Structure 1
Amino acid sequence: MALLLGKGRYRARLAQDEQDLRAAQRLRTLAFATDQTDSDAFDPICTHVLVEDTRSDGRLVCCFRMFTMENGAEVGRSYSAQFYDLSALEDFQGRMIEMGRFCIHPDWTDPDILRVAWGAMTAYVDQNNIEMLFGCSSFAGTETDKYLDAFAMLKHRHLAPKRWLPRVKAPDVFRFAARLRRRPDSKKAMLRMPPLLRTYLMMGGWVSDHAVVDRHMNTLHVFTGLEIGAIPPERKRLLRAVAG
């Protein structure tokens, strides 16, 4: 077992075989409420992380996958590149990981699961000299109205630096940075912000200026990036305390 982290009742490890991969796909299918098994051509080329509950006979409660790239020249091979023009990131010189298909079992609501997942990611990032994380952060459903405060907050506080800003590629997008004029209600915004995206933002992450309307997955998603060197020192200390 390639154990990344064990904290309390949860352990995070790397998937070892097809059985592990199928377990992750089953959890994704359940969490994303899809009609067919959630699998795609990226699964075989990714590293999969499984978070298990040791008090429930090792029940799989969270999973995500990672696609490692040596530098930005490979970013066009990523899952996200299907939806976003990422040519601005091609000049990034450090190693990168695309984090995707993150999900938590709908019957488990313990916040420690997310902490252990991020601790495992931190351990992997440190072990492999990763300099940027990125991926698609999803809002449930494809209607924008209930997320307007969240999108307004993203516009006012969290847009990508111009040098890395993804451009529009998908045919159906919500250009929230151009369209929204409202000032965000911070409380409403944070209530509607997906937990994974909220964690990225707390670490200094940034997003695209538009959301992709993904009707296949029944989500709205924004491209999300996080430069490891930009994470605030106190936040890094906390993450590494969990990872350690």
Structure 2
Amino acid sequence: MGSDGALVDHEAGLERDAFDAHCDHLLLIDKAAGDAVVGVYRLLQRAGAEAAGQFYSESEYDLAPLLKSGRNLLELGRSCLDPAYRGGAAMHHLWQGLAQYVEANEIEVLFGVASFHGTDAEALAEPLSLLYHRHRAPEGLRPRAVNYQPMDLMPAEEIDRRRAMLQVPALIKAYLRLGGFVGDGAYVDHAFNTIDVCLIMDTERMCSARKSIYSREVAE
């Protein structure tokens, strides 16, 4: 999407950073396609963040509310699917693996940044305002953007929810369906050509129906 950075290799189609060595990497492998890696999720626990010097999201958000909560945290990042596997069961398989990881490690709060394409906040005024008015995290779990881009760009009564949701990326929609929230303010990342929001999901707040969606087994 036009992103760039010191460790972005456009020719090889690769992106990496200094956090990779401190993370667990959840891989989705298609055995029918010669064991091709077709999906990935990067998982960073507190111990890994301490070894790395911080959580990845701390470059964009003040995570003090989460860090002070005493809860067992897991930062999610680098979610990516091969284009040929998007729109099918692949993402569900990744999330099934994630659910098993969360249970095995007794994770209480999931968080991470997710992106809208582009850096023009006004062009995304309606979806950002929808997130602000309808999906803000509880104050005790609400990180704040360090370079604060307001999300309250439209009055709530002027938002067309259906139209706004059409502009919300699929990954953010999935977190919202599972009971996820967003932090306070967005972050404009010019290097990666995105506007980022911080997503938070308290596993205790997930209702039983959403837990079922999150962790149900898929027939292989």
Query: Does TM-score exceed 0.5, indicating one fold?
Result: yes
Choose the corresponding residue for 2:67, options 73, 90, 109. Answer: 90
**1:50 aligns to what SS in structure 2?**
strand
Contact map agreement 1:120 1:243 (CA 8 A) in 2 = no
Counterpart residue number, 2:188: 213
Distance 1:216 1:33, change over 3 A: closer
Structure 1 residues 206 and 73: alpha-carbon distance in aligned structure 2, compared to 1, 3 A threshold: farther
Equivalent residues in 2 for 1:88-237 (5 A)? 88-170=65-147, 173-177=148-152, 179-182=153-156, 183-237=158-212
Q: Secondary structure at the match of 1:48?
A: strand
Greater RCO (Cα-Cα under 8 Å, separation 6 or more): 2
* Cα displacement (A) at 1:141: 1.5
Q: Does residue 79 of the first structure (1) align with residue 53 of the second (2)?
A: no
Q: Show the counterpart of 2:34.
A: 57
1:116 alignment partner AA: H
Kindly indicate whether the alpha-carbon contact (under 8 Å) linking 1:132 and 1:227 is maintained by their aligned counterparts in 2.
yes
- Unaligned runs of 5+ residues in structure 2 are none
RMSD of aligned residue pairs (Cα, Å): 2.5
Supply the AA of the counterpart residue of 1:163: G
Write the deviation string for residues 68-89 of structure 1: whole angstroms up to 9, x where unpaired.
126x999x81000111111122
Q: 1:243 to 1:80 in 2, by over 3 A?
A: farther
Unaligned stretches of 5+ residues in structure 1: 1-30
Q: Normalised by the size of structure 2, how large is the TM-score?
A: 0.86
Task: Give the secondary structure class of the aligned counterpart of 1:77.
Answer: coil
Count of aligned pairs: 210
2:46 is matched with which residue?
69
Amino acid at match of 1:209: D
What displacement does 1:92 show? 1.5
> In the TM superposition, what is the alpha-carbon distance from 1:195 to its structure 2 partner?
1.3
